[in-house]
Structure 1
Amino acid sequence: MSGIGDKANDFLHSDKGEKASDGVLDKAADKVDSATGGGHSDQIDKAQQAADGKIGS
């Protein structure tokens, strides 16, 4: 099982993985922003950046 985790980690730290994770985070942030009527855009942006910092390279 650890081999799968290592492969996922390697993928996330590649250019292709970075683009994929950025796309997912962008879509999620857009959905949350839409669901909240745009009233929490600053907080959503901060959370997106924090998540990207943890996931991305």
Structure 2
Amino acid sequence: MSFMDTLKGLFGKGKQAAAQHSDKIEDAVDKAGDFIDQKTGGKYAQHVDKAQDAAKKIIPNE
């Protein structure tokens, strides 16, 4: 088994684990955005929302 095959296998397992726990990952993204909004007084809320949406789009779903 080559190094690339090993990396592909690990990536597949990570993607599978992310799909199984997508709801928890989305909750973490929401909490992180809320934390940033709180610390910045909502000054960058529009940008934070865009970043949250982008992060949620790449989370694999089951």
The equivalent position to 1:51 in structure 2, one of 26, 30, 55, is 55
- Stretches of structure 1 lacking an aligned partner (at least 5 in a row): none
Query: Secondary structure of 1:39's match?
Result: coil
Q: Distance in 2 between matches of 1:33 and 1:50?
A: 17
Contact 2:15 2:60 in 1 (8 A): no
Residue identity opposite 1:38 in structure 2: G
- Stretches of structure 2 lacking an aligned partner (at least 5 in a row): 1-5
Query: How high is the TM-score relative to the length of structure 1?
Result: 0.76
How many residue pairs get matched? 55
Query: How high is the TM-score relative to the length of structure 2?
Result: 0.71
Structure 1 residue 43: Cα displacement: 1.1
Two-structure CA RMSD over aligned residues (Å):
1.6
* Match of residue 30 from structure 1: 34
Q: Distance in 1 between matches of 2:44 and 2:60?
A: 23
